[in-house]
Structure 1
Amino acid sequence: MPPPSDRRSSLLPTRRKTLHFHPTTTPRPRWLLHLQANMWRFLMSIGMLFHRLAPPRPPKPNFSRSIPCTLSSTPGTIPLQFYVPADWEAQRGLWERRPRLRGEMKDGDEVALAAESEDGGGKASGHRRVGSGLDSVGRSFRRRSVNVRRWGNYPVVINFHGGGFTLGTATDDARWCGTAVEELNAVVISVDYRLAPEFPFPTAVEDGADAVLWVYEHSDELGIDREKISLSGFSSGANMTFTVPLRLYDEQTGYHREDEASKDEAILHGSPSTVDSTRLSSSSSTKVASSPSPSDHPPSPSDPVSHHLDSAPLSSTHPTKPTPGTTARPIPIIPLRCLIPFYPSLDYTLTRTERRATLSPTIRAAHSLPPLFTDLFDESYLHPAPAIPLDSPYLSPGVAPSALLKAALPRDIVMVTCEYDMLLQEAEAFRRRLEEVGKRVWYSMVEGVGHGWDKGPNPVRATSGVREEYLRVCGVMRGVMGLERGGGRERERRGSMRVAGKGREESEEVMK
């Protein structure tokens, strides 16, 4: 592992930027932020109700689960909302009634499972024999039925909703979740991570990482393919599609990044007592330790060897000693397939004023989020303000070290931005950085729309172009994960998304 100074480089300025959050107005008391956040949550729930009334109505979650928080020092639970394919329940029934066999299933065992399902649970059916010819046909049919068994083969999309880490719920993205289920025949899990101001930075990122770990560890129960896990998100949730893999990578390598940040800041400012390292990062008291590796030390983000880890994110494990009184929990290798960020927030070292300045006054007035919301988001999440390093990879992946991005993120990233969004420029800058470190970025900018254009509260009709954009994204995901076409209305797909630097032929081939 490289010396701590190399690992800490991500927390030191790479260019002249604002490295700590300073409220533009007099900081509001926390009780007032709580009151305002709850008021806007209530009003947003009404707006999302109107959004869901527009035909065609999005699906409701099929079921929900609550999982324990393990990475955060703040105890609690994380609700997960599940959207599953139409045949998921039937496939689960077949799996639960499978023969109780020891060891891994073999071809003959799978045929026995299919036969058991057809013969009413494995009851004797010798009296039904009508001849060796029909018996042979039956065996052939059962083998073919085994080939289309989907349990254990469902791709999974883990989704993070938007709302500035302060507002929103896991059902806000129901239209996207329903489209992904329909087009990819995937299990989609939307995460109700804990919100600020009750749970400030970095709780949301830690909850997101917890959700990914839980889904991976319960893949048999959920019927998913561990090799086909993707992360999607909107706005602040799109930020989490990048920060969650970075957090997981540090957890695997046993590196407590924010602990080092607090030490650096204490030295730089000469007042260690002013830094609230406990609040700054709950990872300092994490109850998770990675499993020992048979090798000495794996490649780290600043190790040149890590430049060869494009398609194997989170591909190494490093032993970490558990804190006293805690139980070590092995951190698995999680090979994420792709990330799907919609209009992401990526660089908190840019002030809100700098971000708004990227838009013309006319567009800014019509499409930019007003300070009423952005001030609430920033003051709620970035707490305590003097102790938050704005260039932390868990907050600003857009300025994270290139070697860390190369090692921790999957090769394929499907990014959607909005033309009239004050976050557009930082997204395009990050896209170029990702391409420079060898990532394949499928990029689409939706013209003539602002931030959150797909969440319009019109109860009469859905926003034009939203489904078409979702279908384009699903087309890319299908190609990236090598999936067959789902049961959705593929004919509705319009246009294409292209990876930078590739021709039409390759782009269209991946979308097939």
Structure 2
Amino acid sequence: MASTPPPPSRSALSSKAHRYRMLSSLLSLLDRYLSWPLPPGPSVEIAIPSTVSKSPGLIQLYFFTAPSKPLCPRKQTSPCPPRPVLINFHGGGFSIGHARDDARWAGTVLKAYPEAVIVSVNYRLAPEQPFPVALEDGVDAILWLWQEAQKYNLDKARFVLSGSSAGGNLALAVPFRLHEELQKKRWASMRGEIALAGLVVFYPSTDWTRTRKERDATNPISAQKSMVSPSMYQLFDDSYLLPAGLPKRQGTGRTDMSHPYLSPGLAPASLLHANYPPAVAIYTCGWDQLLVEGNTFRERLGGFVEEGKMGRVGGFVVEDVAHGFDKKPSFWRGNQVRERMYGDAVNQLKAMWKMD
């Protein structure tokens, strides 16, 4: 019987991830600087210290604001109402990508709601920082923004999370880890103040109990149409899912891939009711290996609406597109399918933010 090959070393994974990061950066540059209409760049960058993770470091926050409404500390005499906030997590398999990659999504939101503040979180990447660092960096970003809300004139009642792919997984899982963190004594004064207004996610992973092959089997066309190679998927999984740091089943010590921090789509109903905001929107791609699990979770949440336990569930299947289709450079052609998806998501935000 052939022996199982040893897992790749962290240094080998890091070297491979670095090469993919360079390619990802090039594609992002082509989208942001050579594809029309050009999206905005961040107006402010702020580095905050990590406090939740056991791995110390800095987390970069990229703020996108309309030119006419820059981010600045609020003056005591300012008559401006507090501003709605969208906290975004980029995609890239937890191993590549950058907070600037979602500039086009941020620009679409700002065009509709120039008073909004979009904060894209440059969470730390695997394999250098495997699970649960990215998740905990997301919690840190939310807590810091809540603490600084008065200074920057942010509306604590209108914080929405968004994300695509791996970032969508984070947006769906962060509320659970946030709840755990708020049980600590140091956050006692903020517990009653903190509540999310909504979640907007694009083609998220929601069920890590399935292997990549099993995911492909749920939607066979995904293997033919995917823009992500099997070797890249393997890099993502090997980098992020370091066995030593993964959740364990109580009493057995075995890895629990169904844990809500990894597989939010499998979270118990009681946990979802206690930690999710009243409105969620999930968009999935017709040629994606994550199609079925994303649709299943959206349908499950929709059942809570029918039971009167959730206010609104939106989103839809974007047919005939592959995972990450909205991040491809479109150059002069534009991307009408992307604009339709983003346009619907902006309408979802309108309800979450209670905009007139």
TM-score by length of 2: 0.89
Q: Which moved more, 1:450-459 or 1:156-165?
A: 450-459
Q: Do structure 1's residue 357 and structure 2's residue 217 form an aligned pair?
A: yes
Is 1:374 matched up with 2:354? no
Partner residue of 1:58 out of 33, 39, 48: 39
**Which of 72, 83, 90 is 1:161 aligned to?**
90
Confirm whether residue 391 of structure 1 aligns to residue 258 of structure 2.
yes
* Correspondence for 2:293 among 415, 426, 432: 426
Deviation at 1:409, TM superposition (A): 0.4
Matched, 1:184 2:165: no
The counterpart of 1:464, out of the listed 331, 336, 353, is: 336
Q: Find the counterpart in structure 2 of residue 284 from structure 1.
A: none
Which residue in 2 is equivalent to 1:69? 50
Deviation at 1:386, TM superposition (A): 8.6
User: Percentage identity across aligned positions?
Assistant: 40
CA distance in 2, matches of 1:58, 1:74: 33
Q: Map of 1:59-458 to 2, 5 A cutoff? A: 59-89=40-70, 92=72, 95-96=74-75, 98=76, 149-150=79-80, 152-185=81-114, 186-254=116-184, 289-291=186-188, 333-360=193-220, 362-367=221-226, 369-384=228-243, 387=246, 388-437=255-304, 438-439=309-310, 440-458=312-330
* Aligned amino acid, residue 161 of structure 2: L
Structure of larger gyration radius: 1
Aligned to 1:10: none
Q: Give the letter aligned to residue 244 of structure 1.
A: V
| 8 Å CA contact 1:170, 1:190 repeated in 2 | yes
C-alpha deviation, 1:363, in angstroms: 4.5
Q: TM-score, normalised by structure 1?
A: 0.63
The 3-state SS of whatever aligns with 2:315 is strand
Aligned to 1:420, the other structure's residue is in SS state coil
Runs of 4+ with deviation above 6 angstroms: none
Q: Partners in 1 of 2:21 and 2:291 — Cα distance?
A: 26
Give the residue type in structure 1 aligned to 2:143.
L
Provide, for residues 418-455 of structure 1, a one-character-per-residue CA deviation record: whole Å limited to 9, x for no partner. Answer: 11111010011111222233332112111110101101
Contact 2:85 2:154 in 1 (8 A): yes
Please name the residue that 1:143 is paired with: none
Q: How many residues align?
A: 338
1:9 paired residue number: none
Instruction: Name whichever of 451-460 and 161-170 sits farther off.
Output: 451-460
Partner of 1:39: 19
Separation of aligned partners in 1, 2:152 and 2:277:
23
Cα distance in 1 for residues equivalent to 2:176 and 2:11: 32
Structure 2: tracts of 5 or more residues without a match = 247-254
Structure-2 residue corresponding to 1:282: none
Tell me the CA shift for residue 462 of structure 1: 2.9
Instruction: Answer yes or no: is the 8 Å Cα contact 2:95–2:126 preserved in 1.
Output: yes
SS state of the match for residue 209, structure 1? helix
Residues 154 and 223 in structure 1, CA contact (< 8 A), matched pair in contact too:
yes
Q: 1:30 deviation in Å?
A: 1.0
For residues 369-399 of structure 1, what are the alpha-carbon distances to aligned partners after superposition, in whole Å with 9 as ceiling and x for unaligned? Answer: 3211110001000003695421111111111
